[in-house]
Structure 1
């Protein structure tokens, strides 16, 4: 252990070193890492530790190995920092990628008992439902179903949410912005329909997210159910209260 600062295993030091190198060298999706010899010397780790770290980062979908060519950086995964990220598009743009959507359904429905309870409405009240496959560049990342309190935004069904941002329409057309909310993330398995939309295998593990968003006045505005492919999306916390970005501390490192 004498040669391991603070007792950190060599493989873990190598993994953090690779992440540091990618960030500080400005590497992005498609860029190639230096050779093992060069990188091990640059990071001050053995080639055995470096290989183990690369294998782990490949399994985490940070890197990919191309037969006979070398090791390459994958495009950064969008990250939802609970206290800072307002919507999927924000999360995608903050890592330099382009958000997109394929509309599956958009309609006004009557709230059942579950939805009515979420929104503090009477059963049968009108709710706007929009279901979309969400993309980062051309890669499907999530299937999201949003339910919006229709009383707050009558006529919203006239918009094309295959092209328009739901939150932008709510903000600019109806003056509605998220004030605070609660989210729950768990693990589920992709249904056949979700797997088809996301180009993954049926039964593959996915993040299952439920969220209830409220206006600044505390009025329930959106209930969200979504599944995300773990290899294509991440979640994190900055340790602060909801909506607060820590002063003097950047959350950039969370996107490495």
Structure 2
């Protein structure tokens, strides 16, 4: 079946050994083109290494290098003890857009979901006091949510929220709901703007388990401070996005 798909894609299995372009890169480019053309659908496997070796008349090491490049790009994904599969396409997330996760998933035609891992009211730590401009004794809500799209873990969010702006907030308010909708409907809080930073990290063991990725997998760590209609910082969010499912874009 995979061979038939490959033939239907119209892609060439020929490589130019006299080209200055490395052979593994030529093979990688051809495999990528077939994947993007749909010759190898999401969750399907590539032909066995021995078949690719025969097709391209190269060493097994060269084939493995080409496949590893596609894994590094997030086009293929390795599943321990099972094999290498075509990964779902990454979701593009605009850096200059201030929308809720629930709204974002709805716009993509996906079902958003949330699982509250923890929820507590506490005194702010020094970092939170600085970010939100509050005193040591002003209480905050801190909660951790696993964000889901079509029941697949996508991100882990740790949110710190000024308790004085939303008295009576409960854990149930955060299950499978948009926090921003709840804040607006019950307390009249509107999002005005936010500051964000983004950096790559490797998944710690605990977070990797929640996100269903191997420990050490690439994640995208975002810090955001959100301001209301009065220019008051009311929320700090630390989000860990799966690197194999997300890419962030911005318009310059």
TM-score (norm 1): 0.68
User: What's the C-alpha RMSD, in Å, of the aligned pairs?
Assistant: 3.0
Q: 1:56 aligns with which of 28, 32, 49?
A: 32
Unaligned runs of 5+ in 2: 16-25, 48-84
Counterpart CA distance in 1 for 2:179 and 2:124 is: 20
How far did 1:67 drift?
Answer: 5.7
**1:79–1:91 CA contact under 8 A, matched in 2:** no
Counterpart CA distance in 1 for 2:30 and 2:186 is: 48
> Secondary structure at 2:140's aligned position in 1?
strand
> Secondary structure at 2:183's aligned position in 1?
helix
- How many residue pairs match? The answer is 200
Partner of 2:238: 225
Counterpart CA distance in 2 for 1:87 and 1:161 is: 12
**1:92–1:98 CA contact under 8 A, matched in 2:** yes
Counterpart CA distance in 2 for 1:124 and 1:192 is: 33
Structure possessing the higher radius of gyration over alpha carbons: 2
**1:77–1:95 CA contact under 8 A, matched in 2:** no
> Secondary structure at 2:226's aligned position in 1?
strand
> Are the structure 2 counterparts of residues 158 and 145 from structure 1 closer, same or farther at C-alpha, using a change threshold of 3 Å?
closer
Partner of 1:108: 121
Counterpart CA distance in 2 for 1:117 and 1:193 is: 27
Partner of 1:152: 165
Q: 1:142 aligns with which of 147, 155, 161?
A: 155
Q: 2:45 aligns with which of 57, 61, 66?
A: 66
CA deviations 1:138-191 (Å, max 9, x no partner) are 211111001111121111136431232211111111111211111111011111
Counterpart CA distance in 1 for 2:178 and 2:222 is: 19
**1:37–1:47 CA contact under 8 A, matched in 2:** no
Counterpart CA distance in 1 for 2:165 and 2:41 is: 41
CA deviations 1:32-72 (Å, max 9, x no partner) are 9x9344433xxxx645589644633769x99453367xxx9
Partner of 1:86: 99
Unaligned runs of 5+ in 1: 1-31, 240-256
